[in-house]
Amino acid sequence: MIREYHKTMTMRKTTAGLFFIVLFASFAVAALPLTGCRRREERRTTVRPTGVPGRFAVRFETMGTDAFIVVYAPDAARADSYVAPAIGAIENVDRLMSFYRQESDIGALNSSEAGTVVEVSEETYKVLKESVRMAGITGGAFDPTYTPLRDVWRRAQDEGTLPGGKQLDDALEKVGAEHIVLPEQNHVMFKTEGMLLDLGGIAKGYAVDRAIEELQLAGCSSALVDIGGYMAVLGRRGDQRKWRVEVRDPRGEVNEPYVLEVEDMAIATSGDYARYFTVGERRFSHIIDPRTGWPADSIPSVTVTAPDALTADALATALSVLDVGEGVELIDSLPGVEGMIMERKAPAEEEDEGIVIHYSEGFRRLLAP
Protein backbone atom coordinates (compact mmCIF):
# COMPACT_ATOMS: atom_id res chain seq x y z
CA MET A 1 0.00 0.00 0.00
CA ILE A 2 1.28 3.46 -0.77
CA ARG A 3 1.05 5.61 2.28
CA GLU A 4 0.91 9.34 2.40
CA TYR A 5 4.21 10.77 3.45
CA HIS A 6 4.79 14.02 5.16
CA LYS A 7 7.26 16.67 6.22
CA THR A 8 7.68 19.13 3.44
CA MET A 9 10.36 21.69 3.62
CA THR A 10 12.34 24.00 1.49
CA MET A 11 16.01 24.24 1.98
CA ARG A 12 18.54 26.84 1.27
CA LYS A 13 20.97 25.82 -1.42
CA THR A 14 24.51 25.56 -0.16
CA THR A 15 27.64 25.98 -2.14
CA ALA A 16 30.17 23.79 -0.38
CA GLY A 17 31.09 20.61 -2.21
CA LEU A 18 33.68 18.90 -0.10
CA PHE A 19 31.63 19.54 2.97
CA PHE A 20 29.29 16.76 2.02
CA ILE A 21 31.81 14.04 1.92
CA VAL A 22 31.63 13.26 5.60
CA LEU A 23 27.94 13.35 5.80
CA PHE A 24 26.79 9.91 6.40
CA ALA A 25 29.07 8.83 9.14
CA SER A 26 27.28 7.75 12.27
CA PHE A 27 27.57 9.04 15.78
CA ALA A 28 30.76 7.28 16.73
CA VAL A 29 32.99 8.95 14.17
CA ALA A 30 33.52 12.05 16.20
CA ALA A 31 34.24 10.02 19.27
CA LEU A 32 37.11 8.16 17.72
CA PRO A 33 40.39 10.00 17.60
CA LEU A 34 42.63 9.12 14.70
CA THR A 35 45.45 6.88 15.66
CA GLY A 36 48.14 9.08 14.21
CA CYS A 37 51.22 7.47 12.80
CA ARG A 38 50.96 4.00 14.23
CA ARG A 39 51.70 1.23 11.84
CA ARG A 40 48.83 0.48 9.51
CA GLU A 41 48.47 -3.18 10.46
CA GLU A 42 48.62 -2.45 14.12
CA ARG A 43 46.04 0.26 13.84
CA ARG A 44 43.73 -1.95 11.88
CA THR A 45 43.42 -4.76 14.31
CA THR A 46 43.84 -3.04 17.64
CA VAL A 47 40.77 -1.68 19.33
CA ARG A 48 40.78 1.43 21.47
CA PRO A 49 38.75 2.10 24.56
CA THR A 50 36.06 4.70 23.93
CA GLY A 51 35.54 6.19 27.35
CA VAL A 52 32.34 4.20 27.77
CA PRO A 53 33.02 1.20 30.02
CA GLY A 54 33.16 -2.08 28.09
CA ARG A 55 32.95 -0.33 24.75
CA PHE A 56 35.83 -0.56 22.26
CA ALA A 57 36.28 0.72 18.76
CA VAL A 58 38.58 0.37 15.78
CA ARG A 59 38.78 2.59 12.78
CA PHE A 60 40.38 1.64 9.48
CA GLU A 61 40.30 2.27 5.76
CA THR A 62 38.86 -0.25 3.36
CA MET A 63 37.00 -0.41 0.07
CA GLY A 64 38.05 3.14 -0.70
CA THR A 65 36.41 4.61 2.36
CA ASP A 66 36.53 4.90 6.14
CA ALA A 67 35.22 2.07 8.24
CA PHE A 68 34.82 1.46 11.90
CA ILE A 69 33.64 -1.22 14.25
CA VAL A 70 32.36 -0.70 17.77
CA VAL A 71 32.00 -3.66 20.13
CA TYR A 72 31.09 -4.25 23.74
CA ALA A 73 33.45 -6.75 25.37
CA PRO A 74 34.76 -7.67 28.82
CA ASP A 75 38.22 -6.34 27.98
CA ALA A 76 40.39 -5.07 25.13
CA ALA A 77 41.90 -8.46 24.38
CA ARG A 78 38.47 -9.99 23.95
CA ALA A 79 37.36 -7.02 21.85
CA ASP A 80 40.38 -7.58 19.61
CA SER A 81 39.50 -11.23 19.23
CA TYR A 82 36.01 -10.22 18.07
CA VAL A 83 37.17 -7.57 15.67
CA ALA A 84 40.12 -9.27 13.95
CA PRO A 85 38.11 -11.89 12.01
CA ALA A 86 35.51 -9.26 11.11
CA ILE A 87 38.15 -7.02 9.54
CA GLY A 88 39.62 -10.06 7.80
CA ALA A 89 36.24 -10.83 6.27
CA ILE A 90 35.79 -7.27 5.04
CA GLU A 91 39.24 -7.21 3.46
CA ASN A 92 38.52 -10.49 1.79
CA VAL A 93 35.38 -9.06 0.20
CA ASP A 94 37.44 -6.17 -1.13
CA ARG A 95 40.07 -8.56 -2.49
CA LEU A 96 37.46 -10.69 -4.24
CA MET A 97 35.05 -8.07 -5.53
CA SER A 98 36.90 -4.83 -6.17
CA PHE A 99 36.40 -3.43 -9.65
CA TYR A 100 39.81 -1.81 -9.39
CA ARG A 101 41.83 -4.94 -8.67
CA GLN A 102 42.84 -6.84 -11.78
CA GLU A 103 43.28 -10.02 -9.77
CA SER A 104 39.84 -9.90 -8.13
CA ASP A 105 37.00 -12.09 -9.36
CA ILE A 106 35.40 -9.00 -10.85
CA GLY A 107 38.69 -8.02 -12.50
CA ALA A 108 38.91 -11.50 -14.03
CA LEU A 109 35.34 -11.40 -15.25
CA ASN A 110 35.70 -7.92 -16.70
CA SER A 111 38.70 -9.00 -18.74
CA SER A 112 37.05 -12.23 -19.89
CA GLU A 113 35.60 -12.74 -23.34
CA ALA A 114 31.88 -13.10 -23.79
CA GLY A 115 30.93 -16.78 -23.88
CA THR A 116 33.81 -17.89 -21.68
CA VAL A 117 32.88 -19.38 -18.32
CA VAL A 118 34.92 -17.96 -15.44
CA GLU A 119 35.21 -19.65 -12.07
CA VAL A 120 34.76 -17.31 -9.12
CA SER A 121 34.80 -17.65 -5.35
CA GLU A 122 31.73 -18.78 -3.49
CA GLU A 123 31.32 -15.32 -1.99
CA THR A 124 31.49 -13.47 -5.28
CA TYR A 125 29.04 -15.92 -6.77
CA LYS A 126 26.66 -15.33 -3.91
CA VAL A 127 26.84 -11.53 -4.23
CA LEU A 128 26.40 -11.74 -7.99
CA LYS A 129 23.37 -13.94 -7.58
CA GLU A 130 21.93 -11.50 -5.06
CA SER A 131 22.70 -8.63 -7.44
CA VAL A 132 20.74 -10.29 -10.20
CA ARG A 133 17.89 -10.86 -7.75
CA MET A 134 17.98 -7.22 -6.65
CA ALA A 135 17.99 -6.12 -10.29
CA GLY A 136 14.78 -8.12 -10.68
CA ILE A 137 13.12 -6.73 -7.55
CA THR A 138 14.00 -3.14 -8.45
CA GLY A 139 12.96 -3.39 -12.09
CA GLY A 140 16.56 -2.83 -13.17
CA ALA A 141 17.10 0.34 -11.13
CA PHE A 142 19.87 -1.48 -9.32
CA ASP A 143 22.01 -3.21 -11.91
CA PRO A 144 25.68 -4.14 -11.57
CA THR A 145 26.04 -4.19 -15.38
CA TYR A 146 25.40 -0.42 -15.57
CA THR A 147 29.18 0.08 -15.82
CA PRO A 148 29.60 0.85 -19.57
CA LEU A 149 27.33 3.82 -18.95
CA ARG A 150 29.68 5.09 -16.29
CA ASP A 151 32.47 5.01 -18.87
CA VAL A 152 30.39 7.10 -21.25
CA TRP A 153 29.80 9.66 -18.50
CA ARG A 154 33.47 9.64 -17.51
CA ARG A 155 34.36 10.57 -21.07
CA ALA A 156 31.66 13.24 -21.02
CA GLN A 157 33.19 14.65 -17.88
CA ASP A 158 36.67 14.71 -19.42
CA GLU A 159 35.44 16.35 -22.60
CA GLY A 160 33.03 18.70 -20.86
CA THR A 161 30.15 17.88 -23.21
CA LEU A 162 27.05 15.78 -22.62
CA PRO A 163 27.09 12.36 -24.29
CA GLY A 164 25.18 11.84 -27.50
CA GLY A 165 22.20 9.51 -27.78
CA LYS A 166 24.19 7.08 -29.90
CA GLN A 167 26.92 6.74 -27.27
CA LEU A 168 24.34 6.04 -24.58
CA ASP A 169 22.42 3.61 -26.80
CA ASP A 170 25.60 1.67 -27.58
CA ALA A 171 26.37 1.37 -23.88
CA LEU A 172 22.77 0.49 -23.03
CA GLU A 173 23.01 -2.55 -25.30
CA LYS A 174 25.48 -4.06 -22.83
CA VAL A 175 23.44 -3.19 -19.75
CA GLY A 176 20.95 -5.52 -18.08
CA ALA A 177 21.15 -8.42 -15.67
CA GLU A 178 20.08 -10.76 -18.47
CA HIS A 179 23.61 -10.41 -19.88
CA ILE A 180 24.96 -12.29 -16.85
CA VAL A 181 24.82 -16.08 -17.06
CA LEU A 182 25.26 -18.20 -13.94
CA PRO A 183 25.61 -21.66 -15.49
CA GLU A 184 26.49 -23.51 -12.30
CA GLN A 185 27.60 -22.88 -8.73
CA ASN A 186 30.65 -20.54 -8.61
CA HIS A 187 30.72 -20.09 -12.39
CA VAL A 188 29.83 -16.97 -14.31
CA MET A 189 29.70 -16.12 -17.99
CA PHE A 190 29.28 -12.83 -19.79
CA LYS A 191 26.80 -13.13 -22.62
CA THR A 192 27.65 -9.91 -24.40
CA GLU A 193 30.98 -8.55 -25.58
CA GLY A 194 31.97 -5.28 -23.94
CA MET A 195 29.88 -5.71 -20.82
CA LEU A 196 31.39 -4.84 -17.44
CA LEU A 197 30.38 -5.54 -13.88
CA ASP A 198 30.77 -3.34 -10.85
CA LEU A 199 29.51 -4.46 -7.44
CA GLY A 200 30.19 -1.02 -5.93
CA GLY A 201 26.51 -0.54 -5.17
CA ILE A 202 26.18 -3.68 -3.06
CA ALA A 203 29.58 -5.00 -1.92
CA LYS A 204 29.98 -2.69 1.06
CA GLY A 205 26.66 -3.88 2.40
CA TYR A 206 27.69 -7.48 1.92
CA ALA A 207 31.01 -6.80 3.67
CA VAL A 208 29.12 -5.33 6.63
CA ASP A 209 27.00 -8.49 6.81
CA ARG A 210 30.11 -10.68 6.72
CA ALA A 211 31.68 -8.64 9.51
CA ILE A 212 28.57 -9.01 11.68
CA GLU A 213 28.60 -12.75 11.00
CA GLU A 214 32.23 -13.05 12.08
CA LEU A 215 31.64 -10.96 15.19
CA GLN A 216 28.83 -13.29 16.19
CA LEU A 217 30.92 -16.38 15.50
CA ALA A 218 33.66 -14.96 17.72
CA GLY A 219 31.16 -14.68 20.58
CA CYS A 220 30.28 -11.01 20.33
CA SER A 221 26.63 -10.07 20.91
CA SER A 222 26.79 -6.29 20.75
CA ALA A 223 28.44 -4.46 17.84
CA LEU A 224 28.14 -1.79 15.19
CA VAL A 225 29.89 -2.01 11.81
CA ASP A 226 30.08 0.93 9.42
CA ILE A 227 31.75 0.98 6.01
CA GLY A 228 31.37 4.41 4.47
CA GLY A 229 27.78 4.95 5.57
CA TYR A 230 26.65 1.36 5.10
CA MET A 231 26.14 -0.07 8.52
CA ALA A 232 24.55 -2.70 10.68
CA VAL A 233 24.12 -3.17 14.39
CA LEU A 234 24.22 -6.48 16.23
CA GLY A 235 21.97 -6.77 19.26
CA ARG A 236 21.70 -3.81 21.61
CA ARG A 237 24.38 -1.74 23.25
CA GLY A 238 26.15 -3.03 26.35
CA ASP A 239 23.70 -1.14 28.57
CA GLN A 240 20.80 -2.95 26.87
CA ARG A 241 19.55 0.20 25.22
CA LYS A 242 19.11 0.33 21.48
CA TRP A 243 21.90 1.67 19.32
CA ARG A 244 21.49 5.30 18.40
CA VAL A 245 22.58 5.90 14.84
CA GLU A 246 22.77 9.39 13.48
CA VAL A 247 21.82 9.95 9.88
CA ARG A 248 23.02 13.30 8.71
CA ASP A 249 21.03 15.35 6.32
CA PRO A 250 23.08 15.96 3.17
CA ARG A 251 22.54 19.64 3.81
CA GLY A 252 23.47 19.11 7.42
CA GLU A 253 23.94 22.74 8.20
CA VAL A 254 20.32 23.39 7.32
CA ASN A 255 18.54 20.49 8.95
CA GLU A 256 19.30 18.76 12.21
CA PRO A 257 20.67 15.27 11.77
CA TYR A 258 18.17 12.71 12.85
CA VAL A 259 18.75 9.74 15.09
CA LEU A 260 17.45 6.23 14.62
CA GLU A 261 17.12 3.84 17.54
CA VAL A 262 17.78 0.34 16.28
CA GLU A 263 18.77 -3.19 17.15
CA ASP A 264 19.73 -6.09 14.87
CA MET A 265 19.29 -4.00 11.78
CA ALA A 266 21.11 -2.60 8.77
CA ILE A 267 21.04 1.03 7.65
CA ALA A 268 22.26 2.39 4.32
CA THR A 269 22.41 5.93 3.01
CA SER A 270 23.09 6.91 -0.59
CA GLY A 271 23.30 10.47 -1.73
CA ASP A 272 24.47 12.61 -4.59
CA TYR A 273 25.93 15.17 -2.21
CA ALA A 274 28.46 12.64 -1.05
CA ARG A 275 29.75 11.76 -4.48
CA TYR A 276 29.05 13.41 -7.79
CA PHE A 277 30.73 14.55 -10.98
CA THR A 278 30.31 17.52 -13.26
CA VAL A 279 29.98 17.95 -17.00
CA GLY A 280 30.58 21.58 -17.80
CA GLU A 281 28.46 23.47 -15.28
CA ARG A 282 26.06 20.67 -14.52
CA ARG A 283 26.39 18.42 -11.54
CA PHE A 284 25.43 14.76 -11.76
CA SER A 285 24.98 11.92 -9.30
CA HIS A 286 27.44 9.02 -9.36
CA ILE A 287 24.40 6.74 -9.47
CA ILE A 288 23.21 6.08 -12.99
CA ASP A 289 19.76 5.00 -14.10
CA PRO A 290 20.44 1.81 -16.08
CA ARG A 291 17.06 2.13 -17.75
CA THR A 292 17.76 5.48 -19.41
CA GLY A 293 21.54 5.79 -19.24
CA TRP A 294 21.28 9.14 -17.44
CA PRO A 295 22.50 9.87 -13.93
CA ALA A 296 19.78 9.86 -11.27
CA ASP A 297 18.64 13.41 -10.65
CA SER A 298 15.54 13.75 -8.52
CA ILE A 299 16.55 11.93 -5.34
CA PRO A 300 19.42 13.66 -3.56
CA SER A 301 19.42 11.30 -0.59
CA VAL A 302 17.94 8.03 0.56
CA THR A 303 18.20 6.08 3.79
CA VAL A 304 17.03 2.48 3.94
CA THR A 305 16.74 0.10 6.86
CA ALA A 306 16.56 -3.64 6.26
CA PRO A 307 17.27 -6.90 8.06
CA ASP A 308 20.64 -7.18 6.28
CA ALA A 309 23.11 -4.66 4.89
CA LEU A 310 23.38 -6.17 1.40
CA THR A 311 19.68 -5.54 0.88
CA ALA A 312 19.85 -2.07 2.43
CA ASP A 313 22.84 -1.12 0.25
CA ALA A 314 21.35 -2.32 -3.04
CA LEU A 315 18.00 -0.74 -2.23
CA ALA A 316 19.60 2.60 -1.34
CA THR A 317 21.18 2.65 -4.79
CA ALA A 318 17.94 1.60 -6.48
CA LEU A 319 15.83 4.14 -4.60
CA SER A 320 18.19 6.89 -5.75
CA VAL A 321 17.15 6.00 -9.31
CA LEU A 322 13.44 5.23 -9.00
CA ASP A 323 10.91 8.02 -8.84
CA VAL A 324 9.33 8.54 -5.44
CA GLY A 325 6.12 6.69 -6.22
CA GLU A 326 8.00 3.63 -7.45
CA GLY A 327 10.37 3.82 -4.50
CA VAL A 328 7.60 4.00 -1.94
CA GLU A 329 5.84 1.07 -3.53
CA LEU A 330 9.06 -0.94 -3.49
CA ILE A 331 9.71 -0.20 0.21
CA ASP A 332 6.16 -1.13 1.14
CA SER A 333 6.37 -4.39 -0.79
CA LEU A 334 9.42 -5.66 1.11
CA PRO A 335 8.97 -7.06 4.62
CA GLY A 336 11.31 -5.55 7.20
CA VAL A 337 12.33 -2.71 4.91
CA GLU A 338 11.73 0.96 5.76
CA GLY A 339 13.02 4.12 4.21
CA MET A 340 13.39 7.84 3.95
CA ILE A 341 13.44 9.33 0.46
CA MET A 342 14.39 12.90 -0.19
CA GLU A 343 12.92 14.31 -3.34
CA ARG A 344 14.15 17.31 -5.26
CA LYS A 345 11.39 19.21 -7.04
CA ALA A 346 13.58 21.68 -8.91
CA PRO A 347 16.93 21.26 -10.71
CA ALA A 348 19.95 20.87 -8.44
CA GLU A 349 21.40 24.13 -9.75
CA GLU A 350 18.47 26.20 -8.53
CA GLU A 351 18.58 28.29 -5.43
CA ASP A 352 15.44 26.65 -4.07
CA GLU A 353 15.48 22.95 -4.85
CA GLY A 354 12.12 22.43 -3.14
CA ILE A 355 13.18 19.40 -1.16
CA VAL A 356 10.39 17.12 0.08
CA ILE A 357 11.13 14.30 2.49
CA HIS A 358 9.11 11.10 2.41
CA TYR A 359 9.17 8.63 5.29
CA SER A 360 7.69 5.17 5.35
CA GLU A 361 5.50 4.65 8.38
CA GLY A 362 7.85 2.14 9.97
CA PHE A 363 10.78 4.49 9.47
CA ARG A 364 9.06 7.12 11.61
CA ARG A 365 8.82 4.60 14.42
CA LEU A 366 12.60 4.15 14.35
CA LEU A 367 13.22 7.88 14.84
CA ALA A 368 14.40 8.75 18.33
CA PRO A 369 11.89 10.91 20.21
Q: In angstroms, rounded to a whole number, what is the distance separating the alpha carbons of residues 198 and 85?
A: 25
User: Bridge-partner residues for 48, per DSSP?
Assistant: 57
Q: In angstroms, rounded to a whole number, what is the distance separating the alpha carbons of residues 235 and 125?
A: 28
Quick check: 290 binds ligand AMP (CB under 6 A)?
yes
Quick check: 214 binds Mg ion (CB under 5 A)?
no
Answer for which of 146, 153, 206, 243 binds ligand AMP (CB under 6 A) is 146
Letters for 213-252 (x = contact with ligand AMP by CB under 6 A, - = none) are ----------------------------------------
Q: Report the residue number, 138 or 222, with the smaller CB distance to ligand AMP.
A: 138
- Helix, strand, coil share (%) of the chain residues, nearest 5: 35, 25, 40
Contact at 8 Å (CB) between 138 and 330?
Answer: yes
Candidates 173, 116, 165; CA nearest to 145 is 173
Amino acid at 239: D
142 binds, among Mg ion, ligand AMP, none (CB under 5 to 8 A by kind): ligand AMP
Residue sitting closest to Mg ion (CB):
317
Q: In angstroms, rounded to a whole number, what is the distance separating the alpha carbons of residues 118 and 112?
A: 8
Contact at 8 Å (CB) between 312 and 318?
Answer: no
Quick check: 229 binds Mg ion (CB under 5 A)?
no
* Helix axes of 76-97 and 122-137: crossing angle, nearest 10 degrees: 70
Answer for which of 85, 144, 300, 339 binds ligand AMP (CB under 6 A) is 144
- Where does residue 136 fall: left (phi above 0), alpha (psi -120 to 50 degrees), or beta otherwise? alpha
Shortest distance in whole angstroms from residue 355 CB to ligand AMP: 18
Binding region for ligand AMP (CB under 6 A) out of 52-60, 73-81, 85-93, 143-151: 143-151
Terminal CA-CA length for the chain: 26
Binding region for Mg ion (CB under 5 A) out of 45-53, 193-201, 252-260, 293-301: 193-201
Contact at 8 Å (CB) between 207 and 232?
Answer: no
Shortest distance in whole angstroms from residue 331 CB to ligand AMP: 16
Torsions phi, psi for 300 (to 5 deg):
-70, -25
H helix intervals, 100-240: 105-110, 122-137, 147-159, 165-172, 203-217
Residue sitting closest to ligand AMP (CB):
200
Q: Report the residue number, 235 or 327, with the smaller CB distance to ligand AMP.
A: 327
287 binds, among ligand AMP, Mg ion, none (CB under 5 to 8 A by kind): ligand AMP
Letters for 296-335 (x = contact with Mg ion by CB under 5 A, - = none) are -----------------x--xx------------------
Which residues contact ligand AMP by CB under 6 A? 142-144, 146, 198, 200-201, 270, 286-288, 290, 313, 316-317, 321
Which residues contact Mg ion by CB under 5 A? 201, 313, 316-317
